[in-house]
A and B are shown apart, each in its own frame.
Chain A
Amino acid sequence: MAEGAGSPKGVPDGPGKRFRPAQYQPPLPLDRLILKDGAEGAGDRMELDVLIVGAGPAGLACAIELARLAQREGTDRNIGVLEKAESLGEHSLSGAVVNPRAFRELFPDLKDADFPFRGPVGKERVALLTSRRAITLPTPPTMHNAGNYVASLCEIVRWMGERATALGVNVFTGFPAASLLVDGRGVAGVRTAATGLDREGRPLSNYMAPNDLTAKVTALAEGTRGTLSQAWLEWQAVRSENPQIFALGVKEIWETKRPLDSIVHTLGWPVPTDGFGGSFMYPLEPNLVALGLVVGLDYRNAALDVHELLQLMKLHPLFRQYLEGGELVEWGAKTIPEGGYYALPGRRAGDGVVLLGDSAGFVDVPSLKGIHYAMQSGIFAARAIHAALKAGDASAARLADYDRLVNASFIMNDLYRTRNMRLAFKDGFYAGGMKAALMTLTGGRFPGGRIAMEPDAEVERRLTPTLRPGLPTPDGRLTFSKVDAVFKSGNATRDTIPIHLVVGKDVPTAVAEFYARMCPAGVYELAQGALRVNAPNCVDCKATDVLGPRWTPREGGSGPKYKRM
Chain B
Amino acid sequence: MSNVLAVLEQRDGALRKVSHEVVTGARRLADALGGSVEALVLAAGAVRGAEQVGRFGADKVITLTNAAFGLYAPEGYARAIAERVKSGTYGVVAFAASATGKDLAPRVAARLGRPLAQDVTDFGVEGGAVTVTRPVYAGKALLKLKITGAPALISLRPSVFTPVERPKAGAQETAAAGGSAGRVVVKQIKAAEAGTLDVAEAPIIVSGGRGLKEPANFKVLEELAAAFAGRAAVGASRAVVDAGWRPHAEQVGQTGKTVSPTLYVAVGISGAIQHLAGMRTSKVIVAINKDKDAPIFKVADYGIVGDLFEVVPKLTEEIKKTHG
Residues of A at the B interface (CB closer than 8 Å) are 198-199, 473, 476, 481-484, 486-487, 490-496, 522, 525, 527, 532, 534, 536-537
Contacts and interface: CB of A to CB of B under 8 A. Distances in A.
B253 interface: yes
A484 B279 CA distance: 12
A474 to B, nearest CB: 10
Contacts of A484: 275, 277
B255 A491 contact: yes
A487 B251 contact: no
A492 B273 contact: no
Contact of A486 (B242, B256, B295): B256
Nearest to B276: A483
A281 to B, nearest CB: 26
A491 B256 contact: yes
**7 closest A-B pairs by CB:** A487-B277, A487-B256, A536-B255, A495-B253, A491-B255, A493-B255, A496-B248
Given A491-B256, A495-B257, A483 B251 contact: no
14 contacts: A473-B295, A483-B254, A483-B277, A486-B256, A486-B277, A487-B256, A487-B277, A487-B278, A492-B253, A492-B255, A493-B255, A495-B255, A522-B273, A532-B242
Contacts of A493: 255
Contact of A483 (B248, B257, B275): B275
Given A199-B248, A483-B273, A492 B239 contact: no
B206 to A, nearest CB: 19
B316 interface: no
| B contact patch SS | loop
Given A473-B295, A527-B239, A534-B238, A495 B273 contact: no
A537 B256 CA distance: 9
A23 B62 CA distance: 81
A494 B253 CA distance: 8
Nearest to B295: A473
A534 B241 CA distance: 12
Nearest to B241: A495
Nearest to A493: B255
Given A483-B273, A536-B255, 14 more contacts: A198-B248, A199-B248, A486-B256, A487-B278, A492-B255, A494-B257, A495-B248, A495-B255, A496-B248, A522-B273, A525-B273, A532-B239, A536-B253, A537-B254
Interface of B: 238-239, 242, 248, 251, 253-258, 273, 275, 277-278, 295, 298
Contacts of B275: 481, 483-484
Contacts of B242: 532
Contacts of A537: 254-255
A494 B254 CA distance: 10
A495 to B, nearest CB: 5
Nearest to A561: B256
Contacts of A532: 239, 242
A187 B258 CA distance: 41
A473 B298 CA distance: 11
Contacts of A534: 238, 254
Contacts of A198: 248
A473 B277 CA distance: 17
Contact of A495 (B251, B258, B295, B298): B251
Nearest to B239: A527
A199 B257 CA distance: 17
Contacts of B277: 483-484, 486-487
Given A198-B248, A481-B275, A495 B256 contact: no
Contacts of A536: 253-255
Nearest to A538: B255
Contacts of A527: 239
Nearest to B242: A532
Residue in A198, A487, A537 with the greatest tally of chain B CB atoms within 10 Å: A487
B280 to A, nearest CB: 8
A533 to B, nearest CB: 9
A482 to B, nearest CB: 8
Contacts of B255: 486-487, 491-493, 495, 536-537
Contacts of B298: 476
B293 to A, nearest CB: 10
Contact of B238 (A482, A486, A495): A495
B256 A492 contact: yes
A532 B275 CA distance: 15
A95 B257 CA distance: 27
Contact of B257 (A481, A482, A492, A525): A492
Contacts of B258: 492
B292 to A, nearest CB: 15
A496 B273 CA distance: 18
A121 B258 CA distance: 39
Contacts of B257: 492, 494-495
Nearest to B256: A487
A522 B238 CA distance: 14
A260 B213 CA distance: 51
A536 B295 CA distance: 22
B239 A495 contact: no
Nearest to A525: B273
A90 to B, nearest CB: 14
Contacts of A492: 253, 255-258
B253 to A, nearest CB: 5
A151 B218 CA distance: 51
A490 B255 CA distance: 9
Contacts of B238: 495, 534
Nearest to B277: A487
A123 B278 CA distance: 40
A487 B257 CA distance: 9
B213 to A, nearest CB: 13
Contacts of A487: 255-256, 277-278
Contacts of A199: 248
Contacts of A476: 298
Nearest to B249: A496
A496 B254 contact: no
Contacts of A522: 273
A484 B274 CA distance: 11
B296 to A, nearest CB: 12
Contacts of A495: 238, 248, 251, 253-255, 257
A473 B296 CA distance: 13
Interface centre among B254, B258, B275, by most chain A C-beta atoms within 10 angstroms, is: B254
A482 B255 CA distance: 11
Contacts of B273: 482-483, 522, 525
Which of A491, A495, A537 has the most CB atoms of chain B within a 10 A radius of its CB? A495
A293 B64 CA distance: 70
Contacts of A486: 255-256, 277
Contacts of B253: 492, 495, 536
A491 B254 CA distance: 10
Q: Which of B238, B239, B255, B256 has the most CB of A within 10 A?
A: B255
A525 B298 CA distance: 22
A184 to B, nearest CB: 42
A486 B276 CA distance: 11
Nearest to B274: A483
A481 B256 CA distance: 14
Contacts of B278: 487
A484 B298 CA distance: 14
A199 B258 CA distance: 20
